[in-house]
Amino acid sequence: MSVRSTITSQFQQVAVEQERTLAPLDDELKLVESGLDSLSFAIIVARLEDALGIDPFNAAEAVEFPVTFGDFVRLYENFGK
Amino acid sequence: MASDGLSLWESISLRGVPAGRLQGRGAAVALADFARGSALGGRLEELRGRSVLVAVRDQLTAALALIELDGVASRMVLCTPDLATQYLPQVIRDAEVDASVCDALTVPEARVGVSVSAQPRLASATSTRRASVRSDWILLTSGTTGAPKLVLHDLASLTAVLAGESPPKAPLTWSTFYDIRRYGGLQIFLRALHAGSLVLSDRDEEVSDFLRRAGQAGITHISGTPSHWRKALMSGVTSRINPQYVRLSGEIPDQAVLDGLRTAYPDAILAHAFASTEAGVAFEVRDGRAGFPEDLVGAPHAQVELRVQDETLQIRSAGTATCYLGADAPVLKRADGFVDTGDRVEGREGRYYFMGRRGGVINVGGLKVHPEEVEAVINAHPAVRMSLVKARRNPITGAVVTAEVVLKEPAAAPDTATMVRELTESCKRVLAPHKVPAMIRVVPSLEVSASGKLVRPNA
């Protein structure tokens, strides 16, 4: 499974668990408008660390906090490159 | 009354009529109007000498009531807006409440004793403001079972950190993501009253709308937890404010959030403070790096004394609380006056770094979770023998809750996916969302110590 599809499925899974209505996931979607709250993002990041073996937020160099879904995917795709 | 013996209103009007404002989401109040105004419908005198439950929902209303009540009520109990109704009887009993200040959203269980309605505005009142007592300020903080602990402060301990500071040269406009009925927010409220104005947050307001409102009010100083700030960074709305000073407190900030804020506000003073309801404000670090310089510990004659014992940070100062209220209340302060923060620290290369809580209390985005409380729910499942709930570091909320579960008879139990689903559902039924484990793993065994106790990390 690609990084993008892993992330997409985690967004969908956590939205169901947290009983939140997820907006359609396109790259321009602002995370603040995704329907998810901070706790949902926290769970997504923890599960992605298990699924992908990386936590780009905890990198040695400064992290640009993602604002859109596209930023979020790129943060994971570009990690370590 | 503060250390100089003045009540809150006396101290903010000491140098003449204050020019500042308190600004809520829907209303604003000029502090000057307090000289002849009241939010309590002219009934302040009925509350003189009483123990008053401040049970209003609205934050601006609470702010106005606190200014009026200090020096008048013998005690003010600051109800947090999310206090569960089930805990009200205990709070009312332990604080010996005999009066209440309410608004339209106050639950009936909180309308006790002499019940006075308050509003988020000042109506003209004829009586002169007169302070006659040194009021207790009671803050609520969550305890092991989820029931609140009542922490006793007074205005002197709450403002101890301000005592050594000179007033600002120009008026400041403060804001905070915190509710002012929590210690972190109350600090900003008291600071702002002495320095200028305050823009209050609103729990039902989106972060983007709040920051727009703060920006329009021209805020110069703002505080929040690292979780508040991560949310602001991820909302892409940090440019709506242009503060001179940005403060983080209430949780341990990591380097990522400090760097994120440094990038967002390159010209601002970026400060992270360590404080707790019980221990008061310990220090503020302004170098933009996680952790704190080791020379803060053991500094002689410091206003706030820090020491590290058993890898845990302890604090002694004029800003610490007096005690917990209530029968069987635990000890807050050691005999030598130090408060044990329960926060573990480790020294590395001239700096101390926070290593999590002793006793395993988990901090999820500023909200406490006691592992035992979650384990009790999991262990109630008929197929579960035992469980261990612990923190997992998280870049968004500081930590999330995870659980490891041992089954009674693995062969007879439902499959793992079903177990995880059933346990998650039962946790969701009785626990607040931040307490529900984000991950549950079924494991063959858990380590038990010689004394028969579950081995907890950091315990």
Q: What is the pLDDT of residues A43-76, one digit of tens each?
A: 999 999 999 998 888 776 667 789 999 999 999 9
This prediction has a pTM of 0.81
Q: Which residues of A touch B256 (CB under 8 A)?
A: 57-59, 62-63, 65
pLDDT at position B1: 47
Total of domains in chain B: 2
Residue in A38, A43, A55 nearest the CB of B231: A38
Let me know whether B307 and B397 are in one domain: no
Give B430 or B64, the one with higher predicted confidence.
B64
pLDDT category of residue B3 using cuts at 50, 70 and 90: low
B48 to chain A, closest Cα gap in Å: 43
Which percentage of chain B shows pLDDT scores above 90? 65
- Average the pLDDT over each of A51-60, B138-147, B371-380 and give the range with the smallest value: B138-147
Let me know whether B263 and B291 are in one domain: yes
Cβ atoms B192, B39 nearer than 8 A: no
Planar angle of CA B333, B337, B342, nearest 5 degrees: 50
What average pLDDT does the structure give for chain B? 90
pLDDT at position B459: 41
- Average the pLDDT over each of B15-19, B174-178, B386-390 and give the range with the smallest value: B15-19
- Average the pLDDT over each of A14-18, A59-63, B217-221, B262-266 and give the range with the smallest value: A59-63
**How far is residue B120's CA from residue B57's CA, in Å, rounded to a whole number?**
11
Let me know whether B112 and B256 are in one domain: yes
Alpha helical stretches, state H, B278-415: 371-379
Which percentage of chain B shows pLDDT scores above 70? 96
Fold for domain A3-77? Answer: 1.10.1200
pLDDT at B401 over 70: yes
Let me know whether B296 and B421 are in one domain: no
Let me know whether B142 and B171 are in one domain: yes
A2 to chain B, closest Cα gap in Å: 22
- Domain range for residue B378? 361-442
Residue in A46, A62, A68 nearest the CB of B394: A46
Full strand arrangement of the beta sheet holding B312-316: B292-293, B351-357, B339-348, B312-316, B305-309
pLDDT category of residue B450 using cuts at 50, 70 and 90: low
Let me know whether B154 and B87 are in one domain: yes
Let me know whether B58 and B207 are in one domain: yes
Single out the residue in B344, B370, B405 at which a domain terminates. Answer: B344
Let me know whether B199 and B255 are in one domain: yes
B434 touches A at CB < 8 Å: yes
B393 torsion bin: left (phi>0), alpha (psi -120 to 50), beta (else): beta
**How far is residue B207's CA from residue B225's CA, in Å, rounded to a whole number?**
13
**DSSP-based three-state secondary structure for B74:** coil
B248 forms beta bridges with B224, B272
- Mean pLDDT score, B203-217: 93
pLDDT at B412 over 90: no
ipTM of the complex: 0.91
Do A17 and B424 count as a contact with CB atoms less than 8 A apart? yes
Across the A:B interface, residue pairs with CB atoms under 8 Å apart total 77
Tally of CB atoms within 10 A around B81: 15
Residue of A nearest to B364 (CA): A39
**Secondary element (H or E) of residue B186:** helix B183-195
Cβ atoms B103, B117 nearer than 8 A: yes
pLDDT digits (tens, 9 = 90+) for B22-40: 999 989 999 999 888 999 9
| Nearest CA-CA partner of A27 in A81, A79, A77 | A77
Do A62 and B256 count as a contact with CB atoms less than 8 A apart? yes
Residue in A46, A58, A65 nearest the CB of B233: A65
Q: Which residues of B touch A59 (CB under 8 A)?
A: 256
**How far is residue B433's CA from residue B400's CA, in Å, rounded to a whole number?**
11
Alpha helical stretches, state H, B122-171: 155-158, 160-163
pLDDT category of residue B278 using cuts at 50, 70 and 90: very high
**How far is residue B10's CA from residue B79's CA, in Å, rounded to a whole number?**
24
pLDDT at position B422: 94
Place of tokens 């006659």: B132
Let me know whether B283 and B390 are in one domain: no
DSSP letters for B407-430: ES-TTTSPPHHHHHHHHHHHHHHH
Let me know whether B328 and B373 are in one domain: no
- Mean pLDDT score, B378-389: 89
pLDDT digits (tens, 9 = 90+) for B49-91: 999 999 999 999 999 999 999 999 999 999 998 888 999 999 9
B239 touches A at CB < 8 Å: no
Distance of CA B250 to CAs B128, B177, B408, B433, B435, Å?
38, 11, 39, 20, 18
Let me know whether B175 and B312 are in one domain: yes
B84 to chain A, closest Cα gap in Å: 20
pLDDT digits (tens, 9 = 90+) for A1-49: 899 999 999 999 999 999 999 999 999 999 999 999 999 999 999 999 9
DSSP letters for A23-36: PP--TT-BGGGSS-
Residue in B237, B255, B433 nearest the CB of A39: B433
| B65: CATH | 3.40.50.12780
B286 touches A at CB < 8 Å: no
Residues of A within an 8 Å Cβ radius of B: 17-18, 30-32, 38-39, 41-43, 45-47, 50, 55, 57-59, 62-68
Residue spans per domain, chain A: 3-77
Most A CBs within 10 A among B229, B396, B400, hence the mutation to make, goes to: B396
pLDDT at position B449: 62
Do B234 and A55 count as a contact with CB atoms less than 8 A apart? no
Q: Return phi, psi of residue B213, to 5°.
A: -65, -40
**How far is residue B99's CA from residue B267's CA, in Å, rounded to a whole number?**
47
| Nearest CA-CA partner of B44 in B7, B12, B85 | B7
